[in-house]
């Protein structure tokens, strides 16, 4: 993608009513349409979605394939895709506007900052779909199922809130199971190292991201873990 095209998308996304952004980790303030500062912590359902429906996040959402798919499947719920890449969020947000998916929004920020933008208990579920596995051991704390991130999720999830991981990477799958075995705040509910080899346990898993389709075409198996916050 050319630099000019990226700049055009960055400019256009500023006008989208379903996108919020934070660029400064040292100043965790959100801006909405036209760069106006907004405070949505604890108020996402009421102030953005104008309802009291439960909120689900898709972390490292990319172009928002899962955010959009879930919003289509469950119109009675709210969904927010989170990513730092503005050009990717532009695609998901534009599609949501074109389709009239008023229950889908997007947040451009670093995932390690999400506790600044959501109140404790404000989020019902989190989906982590095909994240960067950060295979080098020196970067293990950057994996989105590391203890570092699980602590962040604890600060925004409702008690009993669910976290879903979908990945093609066996090392991330095994790593996550090991982390959960040692973490007393979360309870492992379900895991499968080849979900498409049998009937799917839930309709949400039928959704496929752009990257998942590539992985499947390359003959990779898709793995899934579901766990619950109990503390």
Q: Which residues 6+ apart lie within 8 Å of 101 measured at CB?
A: 68, 71, 72, 95
Are the C-beta atoms of 211 and 167 separated by less than 8 Å? no
Enter the tokens of residue 196: 């498409």
- Determine whether 183 is exposed, middle or buried from the number of CB atoms within 10 Å of its CB (0-12, 13-18, 19+): middle
DSSP string, 25-92: TTS--EE-GGG-EE--TTTIIIIISSS---EEEEET-TTTHHHHHHHHH-TTSEEEEEES-HHHHHHH
Handedness of CA 200, 201, 203, 206 (dihedral sign): negative
Is 132 annotated in the active site? yes
- Catalytic, out of 52, 83, 132, 174: 132
Burial 102-121 (b: 16+ CB within 10 A, else e): bbbbbbbbebebbbbbbeee
Q: Could you give the residue numbers annotated as active site?
A: 132
């Amino acid at each position: 993608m050319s630099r000019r095209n990226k700049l055009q998308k960055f400019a256009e996304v500023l006008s989208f009513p379903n996108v919020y952004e934070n660029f400064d980790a040292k100043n965790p303030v959100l801006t909405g349409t036209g760069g106006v500062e907004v405070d949505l912590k604890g108020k996402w359902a009421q102030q953005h979605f104008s309802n009291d429906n439960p909120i689900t996040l898709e972390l490292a959402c990319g172009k928002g394939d899962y955010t959009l798919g879930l919003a289509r499947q469950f119109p009675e719920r709210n969904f927010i895709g989170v990513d730092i890449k503005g050009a990717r969020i532009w695609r998901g947000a534009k599609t949501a506007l074109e389709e009239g998916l008023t229950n889908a929004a997007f947040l451009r920020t670093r995932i390690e900052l999400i506790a600044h933008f959501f109140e404790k208990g404000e989020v019902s579920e989190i989906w982590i779909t095909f994240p960067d596995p950060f295979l080098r051991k020196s970067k293990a704390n950057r994996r989105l199922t590391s203890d570092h991130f699980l602590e962040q999720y604890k600060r925004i999830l409702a008690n009993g809130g669910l976290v879903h991981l979908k990945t093609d990477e066996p090392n991330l799958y095994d790593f996550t199971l090991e982390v959960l075995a040692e973490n007393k705040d979360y309870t492992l509910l379900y895991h499968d190292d080849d979900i498409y080899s049998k009937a799917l346990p839930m309709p949400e898993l039928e959704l496929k991201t752009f990257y998942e389709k590539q992985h499947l075409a390359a003959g990779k198996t898709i793995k899934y873990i579901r766990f619950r916050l109990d503390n």
